[in-house]
Amino acid sequence: MKFSYARKLLATTAAVTISVMTLTSTAAPAMERVKAIFASKPAAPTAADAAAFIARVEKESEALGEEAARINWSYATNITYDTQWLVAKISERITKLAVEYAVEAKKYDGVAVDPVTRRKLDFIKQGITLPAPQNPEAIAELAAVTTRLSSAYSTGKIEYNGKTVPQSETEVLMRTERDPAKLSEIWTKWHNNARGMKADYARMVEIGNAGAKELGFADVGALWRSGYDMTPDEFAVEVDRLWGQVKPLYDELHCHVRAKLNEKYGNEIVPLDQPIRADLMGNMWAQEWGNIGDYVAPKGADPGIDLTKILIEKKYTPLKIMQTAEQFFTSLGFEPLPQTFWERSQIVKPRDREVVCHASAWDLDSRDDIRVKMCTEVAADDFQTAHHELGHNFYQRAYKDQPVTFKGGANDGFHEAIGDMIALSITPEYMKQIGLIDKVPDASKDMGLLMQRAMDGIAFLPFGLLVDKWRWQVFSGELTPATYNDGWWKLRTQYQGVRPPTARTADDFDPGAKFHIPDGTPYMRYFLARILQYQFYKAACDTVGWKGPLHRCSVYGSKEVGEKFNAMLMMGSSKPWPDALEAFTGSRQMDGSAIVAYYQPLLVWLKEQNKERKCGW
């Protein structure tokens, strides 16, 4: 790729050299002609130029994309000095090229082109998450900074009970520990671990914003919000509309959970007039609360099936969990995963090296080399995660015949929602279908099941929203390094109603304790995914004619659902997301009403429980 650019530069240099030589050996009229050539404006770009540009970008991007994917896979599954070096170098190349592509694509803003070409040009401009200015030093620095931030998170450790505890195990401790003093210690030590990221993060923001401005965006946040087939301002309004649809359900859940935690821990630890301590929620970031579901389950209600216990009793292994997740998709009519998936994936954590344990799905060659990277444990959480990650893989395979520019989700929330929709189908009916249980429990006590689902599905919504709301404020300059942490906790209090267990200061960088912040991964996709997963799920259940309670529906084995589902997946991002949404759900608008419908019995119950309580914070 560099070679082709070098040839262009050589050709330009040669042309100038010839012209200069001519100036020294010709008469005045010739000199005037040469001056005229240099003074003339370049020809205006045309639609044909745009098409040729896109063809070049797609060819070069596919080749470099595979190289980058393999380097990043090597790093993620074996963190060493050398793999970090390789990632930094390929990131530098990709950033430089992506910025060049984006700047060149901007030249065609005023050219009349067909809708497909225009969509591709827009994608090329929006295709870089963290752009750098067209400056080799800035590009190299951004690549080094982002690699350091990602590595700092993945290799982070704390000292606890006389042992060195790696990042992935801190999450396990937060799930299983119940002593509030110990939870506070684990939480605080992990969040303190992020302090060292702050300077690098601030520099990343500075470089990224400079790059975004070169592309014509106000800042990186505006760039991110531009990728949803609407203006950045319209998108900000849209997510607030969606949050408004689901907030009443979250508020009722928060009120009930706080009351139950107060019963367990007392007024000193859980005052009834304050936000809840973030370390008490069974999760490092209080983003999902399912691990404390036993505290809040309705009296007399079935607490739900202990899936972790069943998986262990049935002698499931990490491999069998992944095979079971694959089986769900094949039951819908999808082709099995290629043999290379099983040969090349990282399904369990290696014992001999540092790896990035954060679960992810990979498409290394934009064709068939799809893989998953997990540190799978035999547990209910990872059973669900396996279904989720394979959703990405089957989506990747479905759109593999699209042009490289359109190999992606209809919007980034779609990609996350696909597997999440399948995870909703992990119902008692599904468990019976695959032999995990012998008898489906009576539906009359399903309030426990709904509560358990809400403790993850509903509890996550404000966190999914606020992570990028915080970054939008950072990128816009509303928050500065001196106010990063205060701004973070202001949003967490406003949206989640949680507070830190220990005093935090401006020197802390608590956002860095969440993987997606140092990794630079946009997070709004996860909020949108939670909205879309229920919308997809309800549409799938309507397709199979499900008549029972919505939360009991399973579409396992439905070829009709699979056919409609695949029709949407195959579109990739070739059409505006409302077109893809309509193909599967019949609606052109993202809609939180499906969540409310799913949890309606629980909402009625929660309102009754909270009738005499003081809610809010």
Domain span holding position 479:
147-304+458-519
* Residue 484 counted as domain residue: yes
Q: Which of 519, 541, 569 is the last residue of a domain?
A: 519
Same domain (yes/no): 513, 550: no
* Residue 224 counted as domain residue: yes
* Predicted local distance difference test score (pLDDT) of residue 416: 85
pLDDT, tens only, 295-351 = 888 877 665 688 999 999 999 999 999 999 999 999 999 999 999 999 999 999 999
Whether 128 has a pLDDT exceeding 90, the answer reads: no
Same domain (yes/no): 321, 425: yes
pLDDT, tens only, 439-489 = 988 777 788 889 988 998 999 999 999 999 999 999 999 999 999 999 999
* pLDDT tier for residue 13 given thresholds of 50, 70 and 90: very low
Judged by DSSP in three states, 361 sits in strand
Same domain (yes/no): 151, 6: no
* Residue 451 counted as domain residue: no
Whether 435 has a pLDDT exceeding 50, the answer reads: yes
Q: What one-character DSSP code corresponds to residue 46?
A: -
Same domain (yes/no): 487, 399: no
Same domain (yes/no): 383, 396: yes
b/e map of 423-462 (b: 16 or more CB within 10 Å)?
A: bbbbbbbbbebeebbeeebeeeebbbbbbbbbbbbbbbbb
For 106, counting Cβ atoms within 10 Å of its Cβ (0-12 exposed, 13-18 middle, 19+ buried), the class is middle
* Residue 176 counted as domain residue: yes
Same domain (yes/no): 158, 274: yes
Same domain (yes/no): 476, 399: no
* Residue 14 counted as domain residue: yes
Same domain (yes/no): 152, 181: yes
What is the C-alpha to C-alpha distance for residues 164 and 166, in angstroms, rounded to an integer?
7
Judged by DSSP in three states, 363 sits in strand
Whether 20 has a pLDDT exceeding 90, the answer reads: no
- Phi-psi sector, 602: left (phi>0), alpha (psi -120 to 50), beta: alpha
Say which CATH number the domain at 159 has.
Answer: 1.10.1370.10
Active site residues: 389, 516
Same domain (yes/no): 397, 325: yes
The total domain count for the chain is 3
* Residue 323 counted as domain residue: yes
* Predicted local distance difference test score (pLDDT) of residue 303: 56
* Predicted local distance difference test score (pLDDT) of residue 358: 87
* pLDDT tier for residue 28 given thresholds of 50, 70 and 90: very low
Contact criterion met (CB below 8 Å) for 467 and 516:
yes
What is the C-alpha to C-alpha distance for residues 383 and 429, in angstroms, rounded to an integer?
16
- Report field, pTM of the whole predicted structure over 0.85: no
Same domain (yes/no): 433, 566: yes
Number of Cα atoms under 13 Å in the Cβ half of residue 368: 7
pLDDT, tens only, 523-537 = 999 999 999 999 999
* Residue 90 counted as domain residue: no
* Residue 80 counted as domain residue: no
* Predicted local distance difference test score (pLDDT) of residue 563: 95
Same domain (yes/no): 297, 428: no
Same domain (yes/no): 172, 251: yes
What is the C-alpha to C-alpha distance for residues 404 and 57, in angstroms, rounded to an integer?
9
What is the C-alpha to C-alpha distance for residues 198 and 481, in angstroms, rounded to an integer?
7
